[in-house]
Amino acid sequence: MYEAISAMGSVILDPYLLMLIGCMTVLGIVIGVLPGLGATTGAALLLPFTLTMTPVHAIAVLATIYVAATFAGSITAILINTPGTSAAAATTFDGYPLAQRGEAGRALGIAVVASTIGGIFSILVLCLAAPMLARVAYEFRPPEYFALTVFGLSMLASVGAGGAVKNLIGGIFGVWLATIGAERVTSIERFMFGNYELYEGLSFVPVMIGLFAISELLVQSKKAHIVADVISLKAVKLPSKEDYKKIWRTIVRSSGIGTFIGILPAEGATVASMIGYSEARRWSKNQDEFGKGAIEGIAGAEAANNAATGGAMVPTMVLGIPGSGTTAIILVGLMVHGLRPGPYLFTEQVETVYQIFGSMLVANIIFLALGLYAAKLFARISLIPTSILWPIVFALSVIGAYSLSASLLDVWIALIFGVVGFFARRHGFSVAPIAVGLILGHMVENNLQNSLKMFDGQWWLIFTQPLALFFLVLAFLGLFGSQIFQFIKQKK
């Protein structure tokens, strides 16, 4: 414990890391404020530029972008009724009506305080829960990891907003992408079509840039004519004592909900904010105010979505199972820098892990100050014309894809997956399951091969392992449980 506290405290003593966190917090807020961007797109754009950094600095950059952009979506949700990120969609329900009543400052004050408390709460839970889960994960062998990865793939049904069937199709497509290249054991070429630059398979970085950044650029190009209705804002006022008395229970409840939802593989900040909002309404004594400017609704949504960021880091770092597009990119960052997610990360890289946690904690404190005193300035950033913004995003995407290995193939991969992501979104598919499927596809194949080696090719012996069987049953229930229960209900 002393070593963990010391590592987290060392963040404050590292001027360069503090400067980096401060700059990334500002950048994260800017990214979150700009409608169409968001934590996932921002992390995808910055990922190539972190390759020359130390592991701590690189992951701190991505994690800071994650927490800052998640909060910043509430600024435009309140002021222009346009959530900067999908996680802030529930904030518009009461934030914008409150702003229309001339209380935009009060709404922003509630949002930033609730976000900060939710974020800090989840990071404290992360510090306690992650090492405990890591000790449990020492019991995992290839069969257990294979079953856990299958469970993670089954949870793709709830990643994104495309619907269960479309999300699973996207996940299967991602798993297929993971098979491109030479097979690890036999070196058999798969889907390479004579291009030996694909011998090692598809690089994660250009795929992520294409799916999230370039596809978003193409989607936003159809919205260039939309003009936002801006609410005037003189200053951001701190919530009053009466406001705190009214929302503190909501903040505590939503912080717990958001952290729990974040820990679940394949859930995330968007789901957490919706549940946090609905529970705030359920427990409120003033349910009639919801939808008309209830501060409890703002607090419930914002505490939950920021709490989910810390919670989502638990399965990402302990089990290597990303729960969203942003944590998938952070997982890629960990792997690129040689940090293997899993229990060994918490024994061999303890200082690194807790420095990352400390960086997220500092970022929450910094955006508290920025959210209270610079919200008006950040709100103006959302008015940048898309004709200026998106060419810059495109240029950064191409530079980022090329900088990975100075290969034009990576640029083409980014462009191709940008088009793939665009058509996927156009037809109602979410791109997050494709990214998560690509990452988990490598894991499921490797662990299945190792399991078959353990059991001399007798694959059915995987079902004799209690923990593996438990995860496989969970995966089955996750996919078919509702249909089975519905069938039983109809029979009765």
pLDDT tens digits, one per residue of 295-313: 888 888 888 888 888 778 8
Q: Is the pLDDT of residue 105 over 80?
A: no
Burial 162-196 (b: 16+ CB within 10 A, else e): beeebbbbbbbbbbebbebbbeeeeeebeeeeeee
Q: Is the pLDDT of residue 16 over 80?
A: yes
Stronger pLDDT, 135 or 128, i.e. the higher one: 128
Stronger pLDDT, 385 or 233, i.e. the higher one: 385
pLDDT score of 266: 54
pLDDT score of 378: 62
Stronger pLDDT, 375 or 284, i.e. the higher one: 284
428: pLDDT confidence band, cut at 50, 70 and 90?
Answer: confident
Rg (CA), the chain: 22
158: pLDDT confidence band, cut at 50, 70 and 90?
Answer: low
Per the CB < 8 A criterion, the answer to whether 185 and 449 are in contact is yes
Distance in angstroms (rounded) separating the CA atoms of residues 425 and 106: 36
Q: Is the pLDDT of residue 460 over 60?
A: yes
Distance in angstroms (rounded) separating the CA atoms of residues 125 and 118: 11
| Mean pLDDT over each residue of the chain, to the nearest integer | 79
Q: How far is CA 378 from CA 28, 30, 226, in A?
A: 11, 6, 19
Catalogue the E-assigned strands of 15-160.
none
Q: Is the pLDDT of residue 328 over 60?
A: yes
130-134, 194-198, 332-336, 487-491: least confidently modelled range: 130-134
pLDDT tens-digit series, residues 30-52: 887 776 677 888 888 888 888 88
Per the CB < 8 A criterion, the answer to whether 297 and 280 are in contact is yes
Per the CB < 8 A criterion, the answer to whether 79 and 102 are in contact is no
401: pLDDT confidence band, cut at 50, 70 and 90?
Answer: confident
Per the CB < 8 A criterion, the answer to whether 191 and 180 are in contact is yes
Share of the chain above pLDDT 90, in %: 2
Cβ atoms within 10 Å of 305's Cβ, excluding its own: 37
Domain ranges of the chain: 2-140+200-406
pLDDT score of 113: 87
Distance in angstroms (rounded) separating the CA atoms of residues 463 and 465: 5
Q: How far is CA 166 from CA 159, 173, 239, in A?
A: 10, 11, 42
Question: For residue 76, which amino acid is it?
Answer: T
pLDDT score of 420: 92
Distance in angstroms (rounded) separating the CA atoms of residues 28 and 71: 9
Q: For residue 190, report the phi and psi dihedrals to the nearest 5 degrees.
A: -125, 120
Q: Is the pLDDT of residue 62 over 80?
A: yes
151-165, 382-396, 445-459: least confidently modelled range: 151-165
Region 373-386 average pLDDT: 64
Question: For residue 119, which amino acid is it?
Answer: G
Share of the chain above pLDDT 70, in %: 86
DSSP H or E stretch at residue 190: strand 189-190
453 burial level (CB within 10 Å; 0-12, 13-18, 19+): exposed
Where do we find the tokens 């699973």?
168
Burial 237-262 (b: 16+ CB within 10 A, else e): bebeeebeebbeebbebbbbbbbbbb
Region 143-148 average pLDDT: 84
Question: For residue 276, which amino acid is it?
Answer: G
470: pLDDT confidence band, cut at 50, 70 and 90?
Answer: confident
Q: Is the pLDDT of residue 344 over 60?
A: yes
- Hey, what long-range contacts does 387-395 have (CB within 8 A, 24 or more apart)? 387/224, 389/34, 390/217, 390/220, 390/221, 393/37, 393/41, 393/45, 393/213, 393/216, 393/217, 394/214, 394/217
Could you tell me which of 490, 117, 167, 447 has the C-alpha nearest to residue 323? 167
